[in-house]
A and B are shown apart, each in its own frame.
Chain A
Amino acid sequence: MKDIAIVAYNQSKAVSDVGPCNEVELIMPVLAEVFSQAGINNAQDVDFVCSGSCDYLQGAAFAFVAGVDALGAVPPIKESHVEMDAAWALYESMLKIRMGHADSALIYGFGKSSPGELPIVLSQQLDPYYLAPLWVDTIALAAMQARMLLDQGKISERDMAEVVSRSRRNARNNPNAQLAGDVSPEDVLAQPSYVSPLRKADCPPVSDGASAMIICTVEKAKSWGVPYAVISGIDHRIESHNMGMRDLTDSVSTRLAAEGAGLGDGPVDVAELYAPFSHQEIVLTRALGLGKETNINPSGGVLAGNLMMASGLSRIGEVFNRIIAGDAGRGVAHATSGPCLQHNLVTVVEKA
């Protein structure tokens, strides 16, 4: 299988409300930044473009069509879109490169969640006949998952508070983070209950923003003469939507994806996990078999800023950044979709 290199990555600052800024205005700055990193001019200089977005976030059909206006797609380009996190747009792009129809690809994801009430909006992602009419929101479902973990003694509230504390502290070094600060586990535990057993700090903020990445063949990366890291494995798996049939205290699909991506073939210096809720980081850490040697969510993760449809791609980008900076030799990035970690993607990124 062809080795594929990451050569550029950028994310906008996660903000709670980006205000008067349409899709194009949200996307263009991150695109300009990755073009500059790769030393190219625009989307005409890559062979394929793929994006991830979700119409319901901003409440307008065909959000991604407006996104095309940011690309300079004249003359026409090879372009596609997934109604998923852009991490899956990366996956689609890798297939295109592997089949020899592209040597390079631009991937971007964007989400403007501020116009709607995100947890309520996402309730309409559930089974439309049984669950969606109940308007069960994502926070309530995550709270039930946390309750199971607590009641089975698999985690403690202090464990959760420690995840939050580490996220806030790590985020102080992340200029794009929305929530950062010197927060101790005790500070978190002192907070009132929000949706029991979750505290507000256990839940992700609602964020607006975008991220973009450029990948290519290793030969192309060399010809561009830019630093790169290599994607050595990628896999994703989904599991039942029927939450009663799943063991919510584990993430079987993450385990399967990690195996498929060859995570166990080497040490893991850094991990960026898409865990929207604090307890989910613990579930994922265990499913991925990560130990003390792994630096988990040095960016602060999505508890520090949750760009729907972009944060999965950003996790991969954050691992790339650590490797390029020389802080890590091998890392894992995780992306998720659906309630209670239903669908999971695992990417292994290595030093070139």
Chain B
Amino acid sequence: MSEQEPITGIEAPIYLKYNFTAGAAPARFLSQVKRGVLTGQRCPLCEQVYFPPRGSCAACGVPTQEEVVLADKATVESFTIVAIPIPNNPIKPPYIIANLVADGANLSFIHLMSECVNEDVHIGQRVQAVWKPAEEWDYAMDNIRYFKPIDEPDVPVDRIGKISVAGWEG
């Protein structure tokens, strides 16, 4: 026994298969994304627009039904420049992950930014979606490859999250 090597690990890989379903609200949202349209859902009580929708207003705790078409323009709420790769994702560092608020929505979602100088990205910056070719569209948010800066004036911080679907004139 005394000559026994200590055992410091065994390989016991776990493989489990799941058939995910997206949920009713996300399913409606994804059907629209497949057509190149971004939709949010408005809370019947506080009237805030959730994007992407999950089927409830998290603040009020009530189901959200009303669908609202959003623009593919957005404002940078905040961001980070990431220097490490994402598991299972081909994107190469350094890249920008941003919290963006789409025009017509009231809270941010996470997406990538590109076609920009990383050091010039800033809070309040205006961006627009760069879509994949339409024939590659699927039920997925990465139909949008990334968002790129556009030539519009910055949004003041206290207006971020309050821009209507009509856009931002400055």
Interface, chain A (partner B; CB < 8 A):
19-25, 28, 31, 42-43, 56, 58-59, 66, 68-74, 114-117, 120-121, 124, 128-129, 132-133
Distance, CA A50 to CA B20, complexed state (A): 26
Distance, CA A28 to CA B63, complexed state (A): 7
**Inter-chain contacts of B19 with A (CB < 8 A):** 114-115
Interface, chain B (partner A; CB < 8 A):
10, 12, 14, 16-27, 54-63
Distance, CA A128 to CA B17, complexed state (A): 19
For residue A75, give the distance in angstroms from its CB to the closest CB of chain B.
Answer: 9
B24 touches A20 (CB 8 A): yes
Number of A-B contacts (CB under 8 A): 85
The 4 closest A-B pairs by CB, nearest first: A72-B61, A22-B23, A59-B18, A74-B59
A58 touches B63 (CB 8 A): no
**Inter-chain contacts of B14 with A (CB < 8 A):** 124, 132
For residue A336, give the distance in angstroms from its CB to the closest CB of chain B.
Answer: 23
| Known A-B contacts A20-B22, A22-B23; A69 and B56 likewise in contact (beta carbons under 8 Å) | yes
Chain A, Cβ-Cβ closest to B14: A124
A116 touches B27 (CB 8 A): no
For residue B49, give the distance in angstroms from its CB to the closest CB of chain A.
Answer: 15
B17 touches A117 (CB 8 A): yes
| Known A-B contacts A22-B55, A25-B55, A69-B56; A116 and B24 likewise in contact (beta carbons under 8 Å) | no
B10 touches A21 (CB 8 A): no
A74 touches B60 (CB 8 A): yes
Distance, CA A70 to CA B17, complexed state (A): 27
B20 touches A59 (CB 8 A): yes
Distance, CA A66 to CA B48, complexed state (A): 18
Distance, CA A19 to CA B21, complexed state (A): 7
CB < 8 Å neighbour of A28 from B10, B20, B22, B56: B56
